[in-house]
Amino acid sequence: MPAAAPNTLQQSVAKARAGCATVKRPAARTEARKPPKQALDPGKRYDVTLQTNCGSFTIRLDVRHSPHTTASFAALARSHFFDRTIFHRIVPGFVIQGGDPTQTGGGGPGYSTVDRPPASTRYTEYTVAMAKTQTEPAGTSGSQFFVVTGPGVQLPPDYAFLGKVYVGRKVVDAIGKLGDQQTEQPTRVIEIERASVRVS
């Protein structure tokens, strides 16, 4: 991806910062949860709203195609697992990644689920999927998730498909500018203050 002109990049970062409250980095914590015993009702819609210090955005869960992943994500959100966690990885034009209570990129809920995506899966802009290590089987997920922030991102169909951001895309865009392209580290603390689930 071609680098943005310095002046343009500085303007983008300044604009994004203007919409974000300054917060302290939350303390790291270790979690050991148990996976949910029941899947979500495929006849209903489940929306998870993440309130951040840059505003909120809402993910509509893809219950039909990822029953284990969505049930786990909703259960974690309902139990306040994601509250006071950060986006620990931000790569402008690629992804923002969060969901780790240790705040390092190496933690999770103490369990994993698997929903292997079909070979035809494409991770288009504003797609939300679950992160995994290179050694884990395709479709494995814990609690770490990523939101695709750029068009034309090329990823293999290895990541469990969680859903799509359908409200608050400008907030995602703003957060996506607050990362260092080389280190993939955020340039300021972006905190998930609260996660909530709505069923309709």
Residue that wins the pLDDT comparison between 16 and 66: 66
121: in domain = yes
13: in domain = no
Give me the pLDDT at residue 10, please: 53
Using 50, 70 and 90 to split pLDDT, how confident is the model at 152? confident
> Quick one: what percent of the chain has pLDDT higher than 90?
90
3-class DSSP assignment, residue 125: coil
pLDDT at 172 over 80: yes
Q: Which tens digits make up the pLDDT trace of 12-65? A: 444 445 589 999 999 999 989 999 999 999 999 999 999 999 999 999 999 999
Q: Which domain holds residue 58?
A: 53-158+183-200
28: in domain = no
Pick from 100, 104, 96: nearest CA to 168: 96
CATH number for the domain spanning 93: value is 2.40.100.10
C-alpha–C-alpha distance, residues 85 and 74, integer Å: 16
Give me the pLDDT at residue 19, please: 85
Instruction: Print burial letters for 103-114: b (CB count within 10 Å at least 16), e (below 16).
Output: beeebbbeebbb
Rounded to two decimals, the pTM is: 0.90
Query: Tokens for 44?
Result: 């209903």
86: in domain = yes
4: in domain = no
Count of domains observed in the chain: 1
Query: Tokens for 7?
Result: 């002046």
47: in domain = no
C-alpha–C-alpha distance, residues 85 and 87, integer Å: 7
- Residue linked to tokens 């068009």: 151
Report yes or no: 89 and 184 within 8 Å, Cβ to Cβ: yes
30: in domain = no
Query: Tokens for 125?
Result: 């802009």
154: in domain = yes
